[in-house]
Chain A
Amino acid sequence: MKKLLLTVTAVAIGMTGVGLYASPETDQAAFVNYFTKKFPDTPKEDFVNGVYSIDAASREQWIEIEEFPPYELAIDAGEEEWNTAFANGKGYVDCFGEPGVRGNYPYWDESRKEVITLELAINECREANGEKPLKYKRGKIADISAYMAYASRGEPINVEIPNDEALAAYERGKEFYYRKRGQLNFSCFDCHGGGAGNLVRADKLSPAYGHTSHFPVYRSKWGGMGTLHRRFGGCNGQVRAKSFKAQGPEYRELEYFLTYMSNGLDYNGPGARK
């Protein structure tokens, strides 16, 4: 009887799709394995460099760009902003303690029952001190985030999923990642998993492993800095799906899932990308 039950359970799991019910640890191991097998010449720790970890030609250009990185001005502006007191005399230091805390985000907030990202925390710090919140995609928030990311370089990515509610948020982020959407009918993984390394017009698609390590980024296409959620929105728009609100629950949970997939790598933001 026990054997029969086990068989029935196994068949049921098989029918509903293994990917639905795998643990985050199993998901991550398979995710890492997928990319390390797909790009066997790329050292694991190099995936934080995005497309430059798999494309030797553009890597050379990028190394040259990194000699005078275009995000440097943003780091300086962010540092100045960090050191400028709010009208009430307090500052970011009173909320965060120190700038090098990128490694603490995103995290599951047990009391609020939601994922908290660095950019959300920056704005909540401002609002708690009587300042207006900043726009989430570019500008000053990207500067402060760049300064904090820079101060956090080398911190390990170590997203935790502490309970079932956090697991549910992770699962929603995961579903978002693998679901096809938009008029062009693409999932995130279609481009950055199966399609990673393929050309879209003249550009190579970057692998998803390590994707969230280097934000915010200076993108040549933007001619400026942008946050991770700006990029999420851009990706959705490119497949002709309506993008979601930056720092809304959808993108925060997507960030939670995607950052978890890069656990074990190091933060190396801010970055420079094409």
Chain B
Amino acid sequence: MNLSLIKVCATAIVLSFASFNAAAGDFSAAWDAADAKRKEAGKMGAEWRDTGKMLKQAKKAAEEGDEAKAMKLVAKALEQSEDAIAQYQREGNLWAARVPQ
């Protein structure tokens, strides 16, 4: 093996390692953001049933190396919490319209 081939291989290894770390960092940041949003919904008493499970499943998928699945679950969990908060805000005084008169 000549020197330039060794250099190319080493660069490839370094780059793939860096990209793996960046992806792990992206996942971790995305997961934290989704979990913070879930807690925000929870404080309002508005959290949905499956959001916490999705985040647990996302962590498991990330640990197993299935980054695509992990990120998809995080995105879904984030969307659920945003919808739960919107539902809570939308209900505002709207719930009172359901009280029999």
Segment at the B interface, from A64-72, A74-82, A113-121, A179-187: A179-187
Please tell me if A19 contacts chain B, counting CB pairs below 8 Å.
Answer: yes
The 8 Å CB contact of A20, one of B45, B80, B83, B96, is B96
Decide: B95 and A180 in contact? CB cutoff 8 A.
yes
Task: List B25-41 residues whose CB lies under 8 Å from chain A.
Answer: none
Count of chain A residues with a beta carbon within 8 Å of a chain B beta carbon? 33
Decide: A237 and B49 in contact? CB cutoff 8 A.
yes
Decide: B91 and A180 in contact? CB cutoff 8 A.
yes
If over half of A's interface residues share one DSSP class (helix, strand or loop), that class is named, otherwise mixed; here it is: helix
Residues in B whose Cβ lies below 8 Å from that of A31: 100
The 8 Å CB contact of B49, one of A179, A182, A189, is A182
Of the candidates B42, B93, B100, the one having the most CB atoms from chain A within 10 angstroms of its own CB is B100
Known: A30-B101, A181-B87, A242-B42. A175 touches B48 (CB 8 A): no
Decide: A240 and B91 in contact? CB cutoff 8 A.
no
Please tell me if B99 contacts chain A, counting CB pairs below 8 Å.
Answer: yes
Chain B residue nearest to A189 in the complex (CB): B98
Decide: A20 and B93 in contact? CB cutoff 8 A.
yes
Task: List B75-97 residues whose CB lies under 8 Å from chain A.
Answer: 80, 83, 87, 91, 93, 95-97
Please tell me if A124 contacts chain B, counting CB pairs below 8 Å.
Answer: no
Chain B residue nearest to A37 in the complex (CB): B100
Decide: A183 and B48 in contact? CB cutoff 8 A.
yes
Count of chain B residues with a beta carbon within 8 Å of a chain A beta carbon? 21
Decide: B49 and A19 in contact? CB cutoff 8 A.
no
The 8 Å CB contact of A19, one of B48, B87, B97, is B97
Nearest-CB distance from B48 to chain A (Å)? 5
Please tell me if A96 contacts chain B, counting CB pairs below 8 Å.
Answer: no
Decide: A178 and B95 in contact? CB cutoff 8 A.
yes
Decide: B93 and A178 in contact? CB cutoff 8 A.
no
Measured CA separation A17–B51 after assembly (Å): 32
Please tell me if A16 contacts chain B, counting CB pairs below 8 Å.
Answer: yes
Nearest-CB distance from A87 to chain B (Å)? 38
Chain A residue nearest to B47 in the complex (CB): A242
Of the candidates A34, A175, A243, the one having the most CB atoms from chain B within 10 angstroms of its own CB is A175
Measured CA separation A174–B93 after assembly (Å): 12
Residues in B whose Cβ lies below 8 Å from that of A34: 100
Task: List A31-72 residues whose CB lies under 8 Å from chain B.
Answer: 31, 33-34
Measured CA separation A57–B99 after assembly (Å): 30
- List residues of chain A with CB under 8 Å of any chain B CB: 16-20, 22, 27, 30-31, 33-34, 174-175, 178-183, 185, 187, 189-190, 193-194, 236-237, 240-244, 250
- Give 30 CB contacts A-B under 8 Å: A16-B96, A18-B96, A18-B101, A19-B96, A19-B101, A20-B93, A20-B96, A30-B100, A33-B100, A34-B100, A174-B99, A178-B95, A178-B98, A180-B95, A182-B48, A183-B49, A183-B50, A187-B95, A193-B100, A236-B49, A237-B49, A240-B48, A240-B50, A241-B48, A242-B48, A242-B49, A242-B51, A242-B52, A243-B49, A250-B45
3 closest A-B pairs by beta carbon, nearest first, are: A19-B99, A19-B96, A17-B96
